[in-house]
Amino acid sequence: MTVSPLPYPLRLAGTGVVLREWRSEDLDDLVALLDEPDIARWTLMPSPFDVEAGLAYLRRARQGRVSGSRIQLAITADGGPPLGEVLLFNVRSESHEAELGYLVGRPFRRRGLASAALSLLTGYAFDTLGLRRLLLRIDRGNTASTSVARRCGYRPAAEPPIQQAGPRGPTVLDTWEYVEARSGPRHDRRRNVASRRYGRR
C-alpha cells in the first residue's frame, strides 16, 4: 500500500550521500546552488535566483513536507551543507506512481551525487512507500540528466513528449520510467544495476 501522507521528517543515508530536510540556515547555500545558468536553462526556477526567491522556495518546500504531499530533500555528503536536491512528488496512490526530480550545484557535479541520490530515493520509494512506477520528466537536450537516469535504471517510457513553456522558450520533456519487475525476489525486482548506481554525475 502506498504511504500517505508522505513521511516527515526524513533522513536517508546511502553510499557517499545523505539526504536530509532543508533548513532555514541553508538559505545562502540554496541561492548559490540555484542561481546559475544550467539550472535556469533546464528548470523553471526564477532567474536570477536571489535571496527573496530562496526564502519563497524554502517556504514552499516546508509546506509541501509538512502537508505530506511531497518529499523534497537536500543532497549532502554527510548531512552538512546542501550540494543539490532530490524530490518525489505528484504521487498517484491509485496507480502507485510518482514523479522524481534532481539537481546538483555546478561545483559538485561529476562526483556521483545525482546518481547516488536518485538511486537512494528510488529504492526508498519502492521498498518503503510501496510505489511501483516512478517517472522522470527530462528536457531531451539535457544529456547529463538523461545519463543519470539511465545509469540508475530508468528507461524511456512509451508516452508522448510534453511541450512546456520554459524561460528560454518552448521545451520538450521526455518521460523516463522505472518499473518494478513482475517476477523474481524483491531485491532483484528493480531494473537498476548496483554497479551503475554511482557514476560521475
Q: What is the pLDDT of residue 167?
A: 63
Cβ neighbours around 151 below 10 Å, total: 22
Task: Tell me: cis bond preceding 156? Omega within 30 of 0 counts.
Answer: no
Question: Percentage of the chain with pLDDT > 70?
Answer: 87
Q: What is the pLDDT of residue 171?
A: 85
Q: Which amino acid is at 25?
A: E
Q: What is the pLDDT of residue 1?
A: 56
Q: What is the pLDDT of residue 136?
A: 98
Question: Percentage of the chain with pLDDT > 90?
Answer: 76
pLDDT grade for 190, boundaries at 50, 70 and 90: very low
Average pLDDT of the segment spanning 119-124: 98
Tell which residue, 115, 155, 113, has the closest CA to residue 134: 155
Does the structure show a pLDDT above 70 at 186? no
pLDDT single digits (tens) 3-49:
779 999 999 999 999 999 999 999 999 999 999 988 888 888 989 99
